[in-house]
Structure formats: C-alpha cells, structure tokens
Amino acid sequence: MTSLTIPPVSATHSVSAEVARRIRVMLASGELAPGDRLPAERRLAEAFGVSRNSVREAIRVLTNQGLIVSKVGSGTYVADVQGEEFAAALAGVVALERKRLSDIFQVRLFLEPQIAALAAQNRTEEELAELETLLESQRQAIAATGDGHAEDQAFHARLAAMTDNAVVERLAATISDIVGESRAEGLQSRERQSASVLAHEHILKALHEGDAEAAEKAMRDHLESIRGMLFPEE
C-alpha cells in the first residue's frame, strides 16, 4: 500500500463519524484499494489527531458497512471483494459525500454574499491592498504549480475579517475547514481556477467602489458558477 496523506480531523464534527467519512473518501478516490492494509490504529489516531477510541468506533462502522474487515493477529484491511460488489458498497457513500458537498454550498450561498456586502461597506485602503496582493499570489500560484487553493482560501478569509463584525468573522473561521472542502473541489481544473481569479477580480472591483450590492452579486455569481460546474444536474 502506498503512503497515505492524512490531514487531522476538525473538532466540528462527531469525531468517529468524521474519521469514518475520511476513510470512505480514501476508498472512493482509490487511495485505499480492496485488499490494502490500513495503518495501525495508533498510527491512524495520531494522523487524524483523535483518540484511539474514535478510530476504533469508525472502524466498527465501516466494518458493519462491509467496507473494512479485521483479521485477528493480522490487522485491518479494505474488504477484498469483487469489483462490482465493492463499487456497490461504495455507491451509497459517494452519494452521501456528494449530498454533503451540496449542503456545504447552501451554507456558502447563505453566508458569503453577505460577507462580501459587509466587506464593501467597511473596507479600508490597506485591506483592499491586501486583497490585491492575495489575488496576485493566486495568479502566480496557478501559473507556477496549477494549484491556487491556499490563496483562494486566504482571499475569502480576508473578506470575512473585513466585515468588522466579530460574530461573522468567528462563524466564518469556525466553518473554515468545512467550507475549504468545497473550495478544493471547485478548483480541480485550470478552467475553474481561471474562473475563480476572474470572479475575485469582480468582487474586488465592487469592493474598491464600495458597492455592497455589486459585491454581494459578484460573490453569489461566483458560488453559483462553481456549484454549476460541480452539480450540473441541479
């Protein structure tokens, strides 16, 4: 089995459920394949930043779903079943993950256009200059590595800080990890990355003009565009 890259689990979810979800994502993406041995329980707990009890409960759930099998004296493995059976076992998982991402977008559409409007009302020249710098960093990152996700996330985080509303800023920070997943999904191609830069330019233009209505619309259009790419059937 190849080495796994495992980001720590956020405390915003039921911990064992989030661990189980992360492992299911690895299965769906092919990072873990049928027959692969999972890292030891202690290793998973350390990697996810959770207790061994949380890992143990997650494994129990996945075992009940037929995705994981435990072999006494050997370890825990991805169920080594026929391709069609494994695909069937994962089908519901993929559907749930897709529904979760759609739910995240509903939260973003509720919150982020209002953040943009507030930022337009409360912006300072220094803050606008910081956004310009972040946008240029995003352009450069995409050109150099094809990945501007971190810069995209920083741009949105800076907007939240510009609202001059401690509650809004704290709410945005609290859900940042969750929202970050939808941003990462929305930046998987050069087309989407270019669209993100263009949308940020439109948002920034509205901010420079102090036009809250235009900023709100630019952000809503940005999010609707990403959602349309990810969920064309909706």
Is the pLDDT assigned to residue 186 strictly greater than 90? no
| Beta-sheet strands, E only, within the chain | 68-71, 75-78
More confident residue, 218 or 63: 218
Give residue 84's pLDDT band: very low, low, confident or very high (50, 70, 90). Answer: low
Give residue 91's pLDDT band: very low, low, confident or very high (50, 70, 90). Answer: low
pLDDT score, position 33: 82
User: pLDDT tens across 148-168, in order?
Assistant: 777 888 898 899 999 988 888
Is the pLDDT assigned to residue 86 strictly greater than 90? no
Distances (CA, A) of 90 to 76, 83, 84, 104: 18, 11, 10, 21
Is the pLDDT assigned to residue 85 strictly greater than 70? no
| pLDDT, mean of residues 172-183 | 64
pLDDT score, position 134: 94
Q: Which of 49-58, 164-173, 211-220 has the highest mean pLDDT?
A: 211-220
CA dihedral 31, 33, 35, 40 (to 10 degrees): 20
pLDDT score, position 180: 60
Helix ranges (DSSP H) in the chain: 15-29, 41-48, 52-64, 83-122, 125-145, 149-161, 166-174, 176-185, 190-208, 212-230
φ and ψ at residue 47, rounded to 5 degrees: -65, -40
φ and ψ at residue 37, rounded to 5 degrees: -90, 130
Cα–Cα distance for residue pair 63/40, rounded to 1 Å: 15
Is the pLDDT assigned to residue 26 strictly greater than 90? no
Is the pLDDT assigned to residue 13 strictly greater than 50? no
Give residue 108's pLDDT band: very low, low, confident or very high (50, 70, 90). Answer: confident
Which of 52-56, 77-81, 223-227 has the least mean pLDDT? 77-81
Contact 77, 68 (CB under 8 A): yes
Distances (CA, A) of 69 to 14, 36, 62: 23, 10, 8
Is the pLDDT assigned to residue 83 strictly greater than 80? no
